[in-house]
Amino acid sequence: MYTTNRYKLLMIFFILFIGCSKKTNQITVITKDGLLNDKVEIRNGLTSINRENDLDLFSRNLKTIFIGSDKENLETNFGENDFLIIYDDAYYYSFRHFIFTDFISSYPKGHDYKFEFFKQNDSIFMSVKIAGEHPMEFTRPLINKDHAEKYRCNTPVEKAGGIFNMIELKEKTKS
């Protein structure tokens, strides 16, 4: 009897542990048109959208999660998960993957992050496809790192306006 109850209790703890444990994230990088995986660096952490310009991104203490290969250390959290993508230390793009299921699941489920780099009209582009509990998909040109002082959240500073979670806020029109 004692052994049976102990076995049941052990099984319950095992099921809870598996159900509540973190799920792993996967990163896949694909390069085309002569671009090389070895020149791709992906950093992850939390950055402020209230920065003066994008130069601030490069002085942040972000964790390198990919540099030529997956470092298998990407951890996502509820809320803001910011990414800084750098190609050949000359081009960059930043984005935020917002995970908002903290009241639905015990911890963010793992996501598959696929980054594809290619050339188009003499520019380097990146397609991002995130599969999982909070999917996301977009394609954007990378920005020349030498111009980072002129950008905030991937937008020219003079056009950036008020920014909240990478979304431009519009003034309400008077009725």
**pLDDT for res 19:** 44
* Contact predicate 130/98, CB 8 Å: no
Structure tokens at 115: 């980054």
**pLDDT for res 38:** 95
For a pLDDT cut of 90, what percent of the chain falls above it?
A: 30
The Cα–Cα gap between 130 and 125 comes to: 16
Chain mean pLDDT for the chain: 77
**pLDDT for res 31:** 96
Q: For residue 148, count CB atoms less than 10 angstroms from its CB and return exposed for 0-12, middle for 13-18, buried for 19 or more.
A: middle
For residue 117, pLDDT beyond 90: yes
88: left (phi over 0), alpha (psi -120 to 50) or beta: left
**Model confidence pLDDT, tens digit, residues 74-90:** 666 666 678 899 999 99
Structure tokens at 89: 């230390």
For residue 119, pLDDT beyond 80: yes
130: left (phi over 0), alpha (psi -120 to 50) or beta: beta
Which has more pLDDT, 62 or 111?
Answer: 62
Closest CA to 33 of 113, 102, 87: 87
Is residue 171 very low, low, confident or very high in pLDDT (cuts 50, 70, 90)?
Answer: very low
For residue 56, the surrounding DSSP H or E stretch is none
**Model confidence pLDDT, tens digit, residues 157-166:** 887 766 544 4
